[in-house]
């Protein structure tokens, strides 16, 4: 387990990081109301009586949010609670219309589980404590109003799955790798759109440092890290800051801090100071959430194959190197494209090379996603087939690829024909050409006989030239050797 | 155990209530009277008894009803803000929120 | 109040109950507009009772005309065109909703409570005309209706006395015949106790029987709506329209088909025309309900009523509800805990009272809430916040919820020995206004007979059973097992066929 793994020390301190991630679920409607969850509507136009917390309004639970929680739980091998309880977290804040947030406290819907990923070539495994369903708050807008804030409740009631880890991570790099893997999982299974700019995937990092072997240090929570870049910056700054404090003999005070991307610094929040006592109690408006085993099994049977599992299968079934398998399962469309090519061409390794090589190079160059690739999986499969059956050389294949990409042609074999790229395997035709080459280069022939290998290579080159590169170099070698023997 | 005026101050702050000094004293005396009544609960043995959060649960399991994920609400901003103390450009206005 | 009311010649209309009015309307003997005008005139005439917080003649008459149109078109349904009024904790589009609090002065809801639309003239509704909104204790917290932020409600039997609470406006209005029927809400006795103290009939159904959607929440796990009217038959007519699942809007609404309680009564009477219609009915008397805590005049009336039930063929058996006294602390921990959270939405941000002067956000919250909430609401928010706060949750809230289960289980034991449970509703008749206002604990103790069934979520009702001290009405409480509203109403109906306590009206009001 990663927390047993030897950890890299910073100035003699061990870094301890735990994550809390708020993932907005991809439901059409809010968790307790029928208002839309679409992003970017005019202020307060996507809020119902429930979201405005009008007198008499009551919550009714969205099945889609529960479904997504189950999918996540299965994706991380967690326990799905047969019975979980919604509780009220009581505190006053203008973007919290009811004066309490409906969340899960004592009994969350997803319990335990782990997220596994590679940090370089080291396998890491971060244990999850829980993942619970809750409602998002609205937004306080501070611009435009002097001395005032404007409250927009469009986001209020958007379903969230809050995913909480054990303090298992030992470096900012490992924490970011965890966050990337988690992001990959929730987007892969489609429970979250992963849009970090719009706040669909928000991370809070609990950071503390300690001397090796010492008990856990006091942690500070960095809130709302919604870019992987800032995530790393914020944690590195926080780690340095905490070590600096300790080195100067100051104790760390538990605090919630915000990261300022402009200054690259973290600073403690001034609000929510006295909100420590949330007075949680089971929400009397909502009976316990019951999830039958049959539902869990149905979801399991319908679940899409997870990236980790798919990578293992690519290694086992296609004999790909672990590295290839990992790269090809970075995104669902790439994995699907690869598998289509591999199955059609029966050449998994060639397919992997071409998808990760030529294809991704062209896609990157034109900033295209694989869904709009200039070459279909079928075309690439045929092309690879022609390399495999020695119809064309690798270099010739690149020319065909180019032609397919630019739309010069659609049919692989037609292009090979038109460009006259098929390798000549007919022995007699080749023999005739070689005889001509030998006749025309008697000087070289003598030098070869005198044991000059350079001259032999020159003859090979002449022969290839004469065949316009269509000959199989190996075959040319054999024939020359035979004739000069 | 009796409440202190510090308890009253702490609870009032949690509840976002402002009590005048005379009210605090009065409330303290009334709440202490009330909590002597509440002490009776201690006499009841509740070992192994499940708390009853929903009355119907006495008859057996109550399960949360789940609705299908359909967004059917329309824009109700105007009607919902008729009784709002301060609104501008569709936003509820409050004194600056400090983070 | 609006003053353009033409006094109608139908001077006796107000003595008619819901069923009788419905019959006159169905036969076109009177129009809904005439009935509505008559009651609006009485409401105006007896405004000093303090029963109403809002009326709007134009709105009511428009609804009456709509009902008349449906009657003229030949539509016949048991409540069509009959007027009623709603306790002010039900939100309504057409009238302001204040819940008796300054906090919500002038609040306009963009929607109607489910109960309101089920009873109303709008499509799918029973076609009743709304006469206005009824006064109550602030946020339904109180048992005297003298905790209203606007004005106290007076008991029509003696205007120096309280009508009970929190549905005191509803009770006073029905008792004074200002309305033939009203809605109420009951969290710890707020329908049964005022019904008892004003000599009318009221029923609190099983928790979840009527939708809570659109009721300003006090204690979510206890709040339940119910009808208040002259008789069990009228209550049955109203409850048939009010009850039923509201699966799309209230997660605690029971998924049970609505029954026609009134038809049940009439059918039952057809079958049992003999002198002992209640033969075989076992009525359980909890010894704890008949102790020294109950004043002799009330006990005398209750025992007389029980003797009447025996005459009707019922047998009386003793049962025990050992935790009856504990129901007071248990209720006054749970209800304030839920209330402290339910009332957090009143923060002066989106609606409701906002202080005129404040320094910052926190100050705005504190000033707005302190100015907006009255003493009792403030007291209960303080209690509730305290019992939920760190370090006290287990000792108070959790402990109370455990005893709550024991209380509910005691009832189930009792129901193995009897069909319905009977006893007093209130240990005394109505007290003088202001008598208990400075001793909250004393008034909490007076709820002893109604709290335990509320905690268990059982249906209960109050049936006029005679008079006690100072000639004030006394009610008999009937408690049924879960979902047994029909049996309760049937039992009460048989009693009312044999007695006329429910037909008595306060002399001064005729």
pLDDT digits (tens, 9 = 90+) for A292-302: 999 999 999 99
Measured in angstroms, the CA of B52 and the nearest CA of chain A are apart by 10
Those of residues 272-311 in A touching chain C at CB distance below 8 A are 276-277, 279-281, 283-287
CA atoms within 13 A on the CB side of C403: 30
Chain C CB contacts of B30 below 8 Å: 379, 440-441
Q: Which of B14, B65, B84 sits opposite C389 (nearest CB)?
A: B14
Q: Which residues of C fall within a CB distance of 8 Å from B47? A: none
d(CA B14, CA B12): 5
Sorted by where each begins, the domain ranges of chain B are 5-42
Chain A CB contacts of B64 under 8 Å are 61, 86, 286-290
Minimal Cα–Cα distance from B24 to chain C, Å?
11
CA atoms lying within 13 Å on the CB side of residue A248: 8
Q: Between the CA of residue C482 and those of C205, C325, C348, C402, C457, what are the distances in Å?
A: 9, 22, 39, 20, 8
Q: What is the pLDDT of residues A236-279, one digit of tens each?
A: 999 999 999 999 999 999 999 999 989 999 988 865 555 579 99
Question: Which residue is closest to B14 within chain C, CA to CA?
Answer: C385
- Weakest mean pLDDT among A17-31, B63-77, C5-19, C392-406: C5-19
Are A350 and A324 in contact by the 8 Å Cβ rule? The answer is no
B46-69 burial: b if 16+ Cβ within 10 Å, else e = beebebbbbbbbbeeebebbbbeb
- Give the per-residue pLDDT at C4: 39
Q: For position C6, what pLDDT does the model report?
A: 42
Strand runs (DSSP E) across A67-113, as ranges? 79-80, 83-84, 86-90, 100-104, 110-111
Which of C493, C495, C322, C487 is CA-nearest to residue C419? C487
- CB-CB under 8 Å, C382 with B31: yes
pLDDT-derived band at A392 (thresholds 50, 70, 90) equals confident
Residues A219, A207: contact at Cβ < 8 Å? yes
Does the distance separating the beta carbons of C396 and B83 come in below 8 Å? no
Task: Report the residue from C252, C366, C405 with minimal CB separation from B16.
Answer: C366
CA A52/CA C377 separation, integer angstroms: 22
Contact state of A99 with C347 under an 8 Å Cβ cutoff: yes
Backbone φ, ψ for residue A463 (5° rounding): -65, -45
- List A residues 34-93 in contact with B (Cβ-Cβ < 8 A): 34-38, 42-49, 52, 54, 60-66, 86, 92-93
Strand partners, A202: A22
Nearest chain B residue (CA) to A29: B71
Distances (CA, A) of A52 to A56, C111, C252, C369, C409: 11, 13, 20, 18, 38
> Which of C428, C492, C430, C496 is CA-nearest to residue C459?
C492
**Touching A: C residues 171-230, CB under 8 Å:** 212-217, 219-221
Is residue A94 within 8 angstroms of chain C, CB to CB?
A: yes
Cβ atoms of C402 and B49 within 8 Å: the answer is yes
Using the predicted structure, report yes or no on whether residue A1 has a pLDDT greater than 80: no
Q: Which of A58, A90, A100 sits opposite C213 (nearest CB)?
A: A58
CA distance C213 to chain A (A): 5
Chain C partners (3+ C-beta pairs within 8 A): A, B
Q: Which CATH architecture has domain B5-42?
A: Orthogonal Bundle (1.10)
Taking contacts as CB-CB distances below 8 angstroms, the residues of chain C near A58 are: 212-213, 249-252
Cβ atoms of C232 and C493 closer than 8 Å? yes
Residue of A58, A94, A100 to mutate when probing chain C, most C C-beta within 10 A: A58
The Cα–Cα gap between C276 and C497 comes to 12
Please identify which of the residues C24, C32, C87, C118 carries the catalytic annotation. C87
Query: Phi, psi (5° rounding) for residue C158?
Result: -165, 105
Instruction: Sort out which chain B residues have CB atoms less than 8 A from C396's CB and list them.
Output: 38, 41
Chain B: residue whose CA lies nearest to A159 = B69
For all residues of chain A together, what is the average pLDDT?
A: 91
| Cα–chain center distance at A153 | 31
Q: Please count the CA atoms within 13 angstroms of the CA of C369 that sit on its side-chain side.
A: 28
Closest-approach residue (CA) in chain B for C347: B16
| HSE-CB of C448 using CA atoms within 13 angstroms | 24
Please give the residue of chain B at the shortest CA–CA distance from C255: B65
Is C349 close to B94, i.e. CB distance below 8 A?
yes
> How far apart (Å, rounded) are the C-alpha atoms in residues B2 and B22?
18
Contact across the interface for C408 and B52, Cβ inside 8 Å:
yes
The region of weakest confidence among A35-49, B53-67, C467-481 is: B53-67
Delimit the domains of chain A by residue range: 3-295, 305-418, 427-484
CB of C476 closer than 8 Å to CB of C462: yes
The ipTM, to two decimals, is 0.96
Rounded to a whole number of angstroms, the distance from the CA of C164 to the nearest CA of chain A is: 24
Would you call A44 and B54 a contact, using CB atoms and an 8 Å cutoff? no
Which of B4, B32, B34, B57 is the best mutation test for C, with the most CBs of C within 10 A?
Answer: B34
Query: For A69-78, A451-460, B74-83, C220-229, which range has the lowest pLDDT when averaged over its residues?
Result: A451-460
CB contacts, 8 Å: C402 with chain B = 46, 49-52
Size of interface A-B (CB pairs under 8 A): 133
Which of B15, B31, B52 lies closest to C405 in CB terms? B52
Task: Determine the distance in angstroms separating the CA of A271 from the nearest CA of chain B, rounded to an integer.
Answer: 5
Per residue in A119-157, pLDDT tens?
988 999 999 999 999 999 999 998 778 899 999 999 999
**3-state class (DSSP) for residue A150:** strand
pLDDT grade for A90, boundaries at 50, 70 and 90: very high
Residues 6+ apart with CB under 8 A from C425: C189, C192, C193, C195, C196, C449, C450, C462, C475, C476, C477
Per-residue pLDDT, C7: 44
| Cα–Cα distances in angstroms (integers) from residue A236 to residues A7, A170, A224, A246, in the given order | 16, 12, 16, 16
Residue A443 neighbours by CB distance under 10 Å: 10
Distance from CA of A72 to the nearest CA of C (A): 25
Cβ A45–B71 below 8 Å, yes or no? no
Q: From the centroid of its chain, how far is CA C171?
A: 8
Q: Which of B25, B83, B90 to mutate to test the interface with C (most CBs of C within 10 A)?
A: B83
Q: Which residues of B touch C141 (CB under 8 A)?
A: none
Q: Work out the pLDDT band at A469, boundaries 50, 70, 90.
A: confident
**C166: annotated active-site residue:** yes
Which residue ranges of chain C lie beneath pLDDT 70? Answer: 1-11, 272, 508-510
pTM, entire model: 0.91
- Residue numbers in A near C351 (CB within 8 A): 54-55
Q: Are C134 and C169 in contact (CB under 8 A)?
A: yes
Inter-residue contact A145 to B89 (CB < 8 Å) = no
Window 13-52 of A: residues touching C by CB (8 A cutoff) are: 49, 52
Tell me if C144 sits within 8 A of C197, measured CB to CB. no
Residues in C touching B98 (Cβ below 8 Å) = 361
Task: Give the Cα separation of B39 and B55 in Å (integer).
Answer: 24
Find the catalytic residue in C101, C148, C166, C340.
C166
> Looking at the domain A427-484, which fold is it?
Arc Repressor Mutant, subunit A (1.10.10)
At C462 the three-state DSSP class reads strand
Per annotation, catalytic residue among C32, C109, C145, C190 = C190
Cβ contacts of C361 on chain B, cutoff 8 Å = 94-98
Top residue of A284, A287, A289, A290 to mutate, by most chain C CBs within 10 Å, is A284
- Of A29, A43, A44, which to mutate for an interface test with B (greatest number of B Cβ within 10 Å)? A44
Inter-chain CB proximity C216 and A98 less than 8 Å: no
Nearest Cα of chain A lies from the Cα of B2 at a distance, in angstroms, of 21
Q: Are B48 and A311 in contact (CB under 8 A)?
A: no
């Amino acid at each position: 387990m990663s927390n047993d793994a030897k950890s890299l020390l910073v100035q003699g301190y061990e870094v301890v990081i735990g994550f809390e991630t708020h993932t907005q679920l991809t439901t059409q409607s809010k968790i307790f109301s029928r208002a839309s969850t679409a992003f970017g509507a005019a202020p307060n136009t996507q809020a119902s009586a429930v979201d405005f917390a009008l007198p008499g309004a009551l919550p009714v639970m969205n099945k889609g949010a529960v479904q997504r929680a189950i999918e996540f739980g299965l994706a991380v091998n967690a326990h799905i609670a047969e019975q979980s309880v919604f509780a009220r977290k009581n505190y006053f804040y203008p973007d919290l219309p009811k004066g309490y947030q409906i969340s899960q406290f004592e009994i969350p819907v997803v319990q335990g589980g782990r997220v596994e990923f590679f940090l370089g070539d080291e396998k890491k495994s971060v244990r999850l404590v829980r993942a619970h369903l809750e409602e998002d708050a609205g937004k306080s807008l501070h611009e435009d109003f002097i001395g005032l804030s404007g409250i927009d409740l469009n986001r209020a009631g958007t379903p969230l799955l809050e995913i909480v880890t054990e303090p298992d991570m030992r470096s900012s790099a490992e924490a970011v790798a965890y966050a990337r893997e988690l992001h990959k999982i929730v987007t892969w299974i489609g429970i979250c759109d992963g849009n970090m700019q719009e706040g669909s995937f928000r991370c809070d990092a609990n950071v503390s440092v300690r001397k090796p072997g010492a008990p856990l240090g006091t942690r500070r929570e960095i809130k709302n890290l919604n870019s992987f870049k800032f995530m790393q910056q914020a944690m590195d700054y926080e780690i340095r800051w905490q070590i600096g404090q300790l080195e100067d003999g100051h104790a760390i005070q538990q605090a919630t801090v915000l990261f300022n991307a402009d200054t690259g610094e973290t600073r403690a929040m001034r609000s929510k100071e006295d909100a420590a006592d949330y007075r949680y109690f089971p929400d009397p408006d909502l009976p316990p959430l019951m999830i039958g085993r049959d539902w869990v099994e149905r979801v399991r049977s319908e679940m899409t194959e997870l990236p980790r599992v798919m990578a293992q299968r690519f290694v086992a079934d296609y004999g790909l190197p672990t590295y290839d398998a990992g790269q090809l399962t970075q995104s669902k469309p790439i994995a699907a494209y690869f598998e289509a090519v591999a199955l059609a061409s029966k050449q998994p390794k060639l397919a992997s090379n071409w998808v990760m090589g030529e294809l991704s190079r062209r896609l990157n160059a034109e900033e295209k996603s694989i869904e709009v690739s200039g070459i279909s999986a079928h075309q690439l499969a045929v092309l690879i087939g022609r390399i495999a059956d020695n119809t064309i050389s690798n270099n010739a294949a690149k020319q065909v690829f180019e032609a397919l990409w630019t739309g010069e042609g659609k049919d692989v074999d037609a292009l090979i024909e038109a460009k006259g790229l098929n390798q000549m395997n007919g022995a007699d035709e080749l023999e005739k050409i070689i005889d001509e080459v030998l006749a025309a280069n008697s000087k070289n022939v003598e030098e070869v006989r005198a044991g000059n290998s350079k001259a032999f290579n020159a003859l090979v080159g002449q022969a290839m030239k004469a065949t316009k590169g269509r000959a199989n170099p190996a075959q040319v070698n054999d024939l020359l050797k035979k004739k000069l023997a | 155990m009796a409440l202190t005026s510090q308890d009253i101050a702490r609870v009032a702050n949690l509840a976002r209530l402002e009590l005048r000094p005379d009210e605090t004293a009065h409330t303290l005396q009334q709440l202490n009277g009330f909590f002597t009544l509440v002490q009776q609960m201690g006499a009841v043995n509740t070992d192994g008894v499940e708390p009853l959060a929903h009355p119907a649960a006495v008859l057996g399991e109550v399960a949360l009803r789940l609705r299908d994920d359909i967004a059917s609400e329309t824009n109700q901003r105007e009607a919902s803000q008729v009784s709002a103390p301060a609104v501008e450009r569709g936003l509820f206005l409050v004194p600056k929120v400090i983070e | 109040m609006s003053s353009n009311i033409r006094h109608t010649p139908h001077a006796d209309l107000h003595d008619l109950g819901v069923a009788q009015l419905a019959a006159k309307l169905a036969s076109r003997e009177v129009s809904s507009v005439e009935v509505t005008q008559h009651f609006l005139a009485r409401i105006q005439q007896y405004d000093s009772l303090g029963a109403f917080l809002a009326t709007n003649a134009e709105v009511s008459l428009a609804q009456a005309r709509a009902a008349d149109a449906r009657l003229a078109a030949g539509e016949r349904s048991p409540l069509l065109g009959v007027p009623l009024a709603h306790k002010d904790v039900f939100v309504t589009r057409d009238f302001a909703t204040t819940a008796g609090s300054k906090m919500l002065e002038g609040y306009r809801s963009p929607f109607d409570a489910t109960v309101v639309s089920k009873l109303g003239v709008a499509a799918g509704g029973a076609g009743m005309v709304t006469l206005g909104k009824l006064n109550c204790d602030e946020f339904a917290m109180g048992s005297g209706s003298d905790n209203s932020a606007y004005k106290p409600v007076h008991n029509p039997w003696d205007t120096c006395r309280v009508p009970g609470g929190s549905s005191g406006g509803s009770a006073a209005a029905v008792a004074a015949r200002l309305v033939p029927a009203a809605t109420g809400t009951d969290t710890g006795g707020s329908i049964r106790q005022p019904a008892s103290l004003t000599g009318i009939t009221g029923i609190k159904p099983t928790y979840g029987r009527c939708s809570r959607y659109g009721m300003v929440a006090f204690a979510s796990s206890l709040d339940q709506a119910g009808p208040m009217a002259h008789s069990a038959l009228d209550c049955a007519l109203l409850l048939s329209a009010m009850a039923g699942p509201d699966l799309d809007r209230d997660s605690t609404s029971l998924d049970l088909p609505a029954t026609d309680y009134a038809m049940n009564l009439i059918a039952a009477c057809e079958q049992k025309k003999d002198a002992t219609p209640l033969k075989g009915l076992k009525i359980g008397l909890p010894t704890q309900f008949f102790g020294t805590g109950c004043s002799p005049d009330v006990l005398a009336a209750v025992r007389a009523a029980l003797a009447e039930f025996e005459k009707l063929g019922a047998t009386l058996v003793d049962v025990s509800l050992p935790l009856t006294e504990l129901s007071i602390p248990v209720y006054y921990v749970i209800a304030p805990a839920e209330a402290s959270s339910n009332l957090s939405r009143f923060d002066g941000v989106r609606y409701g009272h906002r202080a005129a002067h404040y320094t910052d956000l926190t100050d705005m919250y504190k000033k707005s809430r302190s100015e907006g909430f009255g003493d009792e609401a403030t007291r209960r928010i303080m209690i509730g916040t305290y019992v939920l706060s760190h370090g006290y949750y287990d000792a108070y809230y959790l402990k109370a919820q455990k005893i709550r289960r024991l209380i509910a289980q005691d009832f189930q034991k009792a129901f193995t020995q009897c069909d319905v449970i009977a006893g007093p509703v209130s240990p005394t008749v109505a007290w003088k206004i202001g008598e208990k206002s400075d001793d909250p604990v004393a008034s909490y103790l007076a709820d002893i007979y109604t709290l335990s069934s509320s905690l268990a979520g059982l249906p209960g009702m109050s049936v006029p059973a005679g008079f006690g001290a100072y000639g004030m009405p006394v009610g008999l409480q009937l408690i049924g097992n879960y979902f047994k509203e029909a049996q309760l109403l049937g039992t009460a109906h048989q009693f009312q066929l044999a007695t006329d306590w429910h037909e008595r009206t306060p002399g001064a009001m005729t």
